[in-house]
Amino acid sequence: MFLETIKSEGLSHLSYMLGDESAGVCAVVDPRRDIQIYLEIAKDCDVRISHILETHVHEDFVSGSRELAAQTGATIYAGESNERTFDHEAVKDGDTIRVGNLSLQALHTPGHTPEHVCYRVSGGKGAEAPWGVFTGDTLFCGDIGRTDLLGKEEADGMTRRLYHSLFDKLLPLGDELTIYPAHGKGSPCGGNIGDRLISTLGYERRHNPKLLADNEDEFVKNQLGSLQPAPFYYAHLKDVNTHGPRVLACVPPIPMLEPHVFQIEMGKPDTVVLDTREIEAFGGGHIQGALNIALREEFPTWAGWTLRPNQRILLVLAEEDDLETVQRHLLRIGFEKIDGYLGKGMRGWFEAGLPFDRMPEMSVHQLKGRIDSGRSDIQVLDVRSPAEWNQGHIPGALHLYAPFLPDHLHSFDRTKPIVTYCGSGYRSSIAASLLKRGGFKEVYNIPGSMKAWKAAGYRLE
């Protein structure tokens, strides 16, 4: 028997391969869209991928189930739902799936989504009794799945369903069982997922804050009071994964565009220039109207928050070698309309004599001086989450979570300078580029943002 965990950077997504080498077969649980890694592991272990298991309709990444099935001929298994429109075998509570000498029993665990199933696994040499459970987005290390994906009006009912899934289905399976969740730390699918990738039911029962509630009503109150806004792209990806993502077969090539051609392409409808360089490089010189999302660990989540499914994307890269990484991240969250990248990057743009814009920066010391002077000609905008804002913010600051900025530009005075800050400067650079794209002339980003403000010893409200 073998069990492999595959972590997808940026989305904190965890998928799994579980196989029986003696029988020459294996299963993949919750695969991502770029499937090459599963094919390579199967080849290395000398097995074929015979089963593909989905715990639920994912909303934070494009499922790779159809892609993998097209490549391998494996059968897709998923919880019963009247909404799915692609070929699969529906499983209901109690159904057992055999993979060689391994046995996976489906457990219907609604709450995160109505059709959600977990898979209790047993089998392997010396492991006839159940030893683990693939929990999907029902139970994480230190947290549970969010329950508001059907909307506010359904959140209470879904939270109560999750309570019974956890306390009546999962926890009674036995403290010794290892849990294998679909996400790790940093995923928006949970509010505060812990650092570890695996845990046990017993450890979570005793230490998971969400499982320490005395009763159902307290559980519901704790859960609904801790939820942060769900990323905008979730609704789109739910639709994509419900009807089955388009099978790519191979990664489509992205053309390199000369600066003048790039400039012409920018003028086409529904086009956004996505600049993935670091914050300081973007501030020093960028194409007017470009959106800055630096290629860091957070890139895919914030690309999902900020881009729209119908947009054509043109890329500005720090290095041409970044192209494969950027494309992989965007394909994982459903953005396929990547119509070109700027040849030679911003150097090529500058050398072509084309116009560019700048994003000035303001230190926390300069900002503190402006605030202390009592001048009212500057707007300080905190773009962190509501929970971060409530823990303390720069005196006199306004607040709007960065993803909501495009729909609320009218809330700010375009005649006054505006300064953006977040936790470290990453989200504030995104927000600053959105303001510039929206027509604000004098916009400043704060390098270091709240970390720098605290390090300087300045007061919080």
Which residues belong to the active site?
A: 422
SS3 label, residue 275: strand
Q: What angle do the packed helices 426-437 and 299-306 form, to 10 degrees? A: 30
Dist. CA 173–CA 130, nearest whole Å = 9
Q: CB-based contacts of 52: which residues, under 8 Å, 6+ apart?
A: 27, 28, 31, 65, 68, 69, 74, 75, 76, 77
- Helix/strand/coil percentages in the chain, nearest 5: 35, 25, 45
Residues 62, 68, 73, 78: is their CA dihedral positive or negative?
A: negative
State the residue for tokens 């990547």. 338
SS3 label, residue 441: coil
Q: Are 174 and 228 in contact (CB under 8 A)?
A: no
291-292 and 271-275 beta bridge pairing: parallel
- Reduce the secondary structure of 33-87 to three states and give it as a string: CCCHHHHHHHHHCCCEEEEEECCCCCCCCCECHHHHHHHHCCEEEEECCCCCCCC
Q: Which residues pair with 133 in a beta bridge?
A: 120, 179
Q: CB-based contacts of 373: which residues, under 8 Å, 6+ apart?
A: none
25-29 and 13-20 beta bridge pairing: antiparallel
Instruction: Give burial (CB, 10 Å; 0-12/13-18/19+) of 143.
Output: buried
